[in-house]
Structure 1
Amino acid sequence: MRIAIDAMGGDHAPDVVVAGALEAVREWKDTTVILIGDKARIEPLVRQAGDQPSNLEIVHASEVIEADDEPVKAVRRKKDASMVIAGRMVQERTADAMISAGNTGALMTTGLLIVGRIEGIDRPALTLTIPSMDGKGMVALDMGANMDASPEQLVQYAIMGSIYRKKVHGVVSPRVGLLNVGTEALKGNELTKAAYPLLKEAPIHFVGNVESRDLLSGPCDVLVCDGFAGNIMLKSLEGAAATIFTALRTEFTRNLLTKLAAAVLKPGLTKFRRQLDYTEYGAAPLLGINGMVLKSHGSSNATAIKNAIRQARISIQSDVLATIKSEINNGNK
């Protein structure tokens, strides 16, 4: 299998992207990783790490889509940007998947304008695995690809999320929940009230409404919401986790006694932090695109890039794309 990576995307590119890619190709010999970006910057990083593995390729790109670029204009005008070239490789089937830690809006635009949508899907959804205390995580979509959604689009998200959860994570009958302000069926705004009966009739295991306060306890395997609510929820969780760990670090370094306590508690705290660490999951796929397109966190480190490649490999091996196409097309007949 061949996985294209936008080597210039992300806060720490290309250094961490190259490092993560090298770790991946050395572990998975059956996978070819294609680093796309400025050869003058990428090749020295590869040489510093030793000989270039035979399953690592470098494709030069003369342009970069920056974090502050306007997505549609950037994708249309920067034809030789690393992200655009990666998208074109997926569209032309010279790569089985692409990964980028760059501009999210531009990646969404690349998916729509270059790779294209799956027939029968109105809007793709950014799909993130949110850590949970049981260690299983929860697939949530949409996390910000679209600010608005219709009830029918939430059903499409639920079907795609269920397929992804089955194929990539091996959950036999994923429980699907609808993000809401209460668990009662009649709670919520016009969107959730209209979506609830449609989700009950959909070919999924729908378990009803889920409140955000319960998310980290793993109330469902797949969480469905519009991109506006999903992105607010995600940023709130990220902010809360960062604040908690900052406060703990401050308290445990306050004096000798607290430092001794920290030494005793360190194994448990390390495990807790790992449970809430996005780098363990690597990347968020854009489900609904007619190709495997995955978004890594902008601040990804080498571990996150390697895990993104692992996630792409599993998605390809599990034939997630073909299963979504089949399920959606059968539902539209």
Structure 2
Amino acid sequence: MDWCFMRIVIDAMGSDNHPEPDVVGAVEAAREFGDTLILTGDKNQINPILSQQDTTGLDIQVKHTFQAICMTDKPSEVIKSKPDSSVHVGLKLVKNGEADAFVSMGNTGAILGAAMLRAVGLGRIKGIKRPSIGVIFPIKSRPFLIDNGTNAECKPEYLLQFGIMGSLYVERMRGITNPRVGLISNGEEEGKGTELIREAGSLLAASGLNYVGNIEPKEFVFGSVDVAVCDGFTGNILMKTAEAIAKYMSEEIRTQIQAGPVTAVGGLLAKPAFAKVRKQLNPEEVGGAPLLGVDGVVIIGHGRSSAYAVKQAVRQARRMVENKVVEAIMTGLTK
């Protein structure tokens, strides 16, 4: 596909340490991709950071807003009480065709709520019952997990739509024809799992997707599927458990390497290998997670994101636009 320049909105008030990582990440993205980057937020906080960067030849715009959504804000309240927030304004730019995608490291619940409502954000794609956040697991097989925490309570038809959206996302973003879709359960056998799992399994089996059946977490990790479907409660616990185990293993290996001179020498020799694994497992390489099911491209990153993660989130957003993921979901639901 020919390279094309885009207009990407970044919520400059999103990250925990805003606006510095958000602004610096925007500058790095503009420099690498050549796109127009639009920063939404308080110009009095954004401009001093922006003035410290080398923006020569870069198209970076600031859209001033009088309000910002905090991580502690209740989504149900701020969706209506903060109509001039950096989130609302950014989403409206996409809705009105003034930007191609929206990226934020901010309050996930508020972004989801605002994006779902057509009156204040993008609205749902026609036919979508529940938009969902999916995430590419940063491991060798790079499976796509959906839902990653958006919908804690689900109905079987929600999981069916998660499978459809996840399959289309992987097909477009990873170039995998007819991706393998599995349903996370406590056993591979067809009758295993809760009533939700059993009913969703029946729907997925009759969906026309390349459904391989129930999978346990070990199959997910070792590459048995390209898309793993679950409710948001399960997905969020799975993701957080994986992050905690990875952190524990990293710290334990470091402790053992430093335990004596022999292991220290071995650790030095293995340092390049450890560096490769560390990069592969680093969630900042992915940058953010797509919100699928809304009528526009939205990427949501972690509040602790660095400038590098913000840049990588922009990479994800522009690839979703290039590969027409939203359009594919619209078409896929009508088949």
Q: TM-score, normalised by structure 2?
A: 0.94
Who is 2:52 aligned against? 48
In structure 1, C-alpha distance between the alignment counterparts of 2:186 and 2:286, rounded to whole Å: 27
2:309 pairs with one of 304, 310, 324: 304
In structure 1, C-alpha distance between the alignment counterparts of 2:141 and 2:62, rounded to whole Å: 35
The 5 A counterparts of 1:99-248 are 99-113=103-117, 114-132=121-139, 135-248=140-253
Q: Which moved more, 1:199-208 or 1:256-265?
A: 256-265
Q: How far did 1:257 drift?
A: 3.4
Structure 1 unpaired stretches of 5+: none
Q: Contact 1:159/1:203 (CA < 8 Å) preserved in 2?
A: no
Who is 2:65 aligned against? 61
Question: Judging changes above 3 Å, is the alpha-carbon distance between structure 1 residues 51 and 24 closer, same or farther for their aligned structure 2 residues?
Answer: closer
Task: Look up the SS of the partner of 1:59 in the other structure.
Answer: strand
Q: How far did 1:63 drift?
A: 1.6
Partner deviation per Cα, 1:283-315 (whole Å, 9 max, x = no partner):
111100111111111111122111111111111
RMSD: 1.3
Is 2:92 the counterpart of 1:79?
A: no
In structure 2, C-alpha distance between the alignment counterparts of 1:237 and 1:178, rounded to whole Å: 18
Q: How far did 1:52 drift?
A: 5.0
> What is the count of residue pairs matched by the alignment?
327
Q: Contact 2:290/2:299 (CA < 8 Å) preserved in 1?
A: yes
Is 2:307 the counterpart of 1:294?
A: no
In structure 2, C-alpha distance between the alignment counterparts of 1:252 and 1:49, rounded to whole Å: 39
AA partner of residue 92 (structure 1)? N
Is 2:318 the counterpart of 1:313?
A: yes
Q: TM-score, normalised by structure 1?
A: 0.95
AA partner of residue 125 (structure 1)? S
After the TM superposition, which parts of structure 1 deviate over 4 Å for at least 4 consecutive aligned residues?
A: none
Q: Which moved more, 1:258-267 or 1:112-121?
A: 258-267
In structure 1, C-alpha distance between the alignment counterparts of 2:166 and 2:151, rounded to whole Å: 16
In structure 1, C-alpha distance between the alignment counterparts of 2:175 and 2:17, rounded to whole Å: 32
Structure 2 unpaired stretches of 5+: 1-5
Partner deviation per Cα, 1:102-148 (whole Å, 9 max, x = no partner):
1111111111122111110000011111122xx24011111111111
In structure 1, C-alpha distance between the alignment counterparts of 2:55 and 2:309, rounded to whole Å: 23
In structure 2, C-alpha distance between the alignment counterparts of 1:250 and 1:84, rounded to whole Å: 46
In structure 1, C-alpha distance between the alignment counterparts of 2:280 and 2:222, rounded to whole Å: 12
Q: Contact 1:46/1:52 (CA < 8 Å) preserved in 2?
A: no
Q: How far did 1:259 drift?
A: 2.6
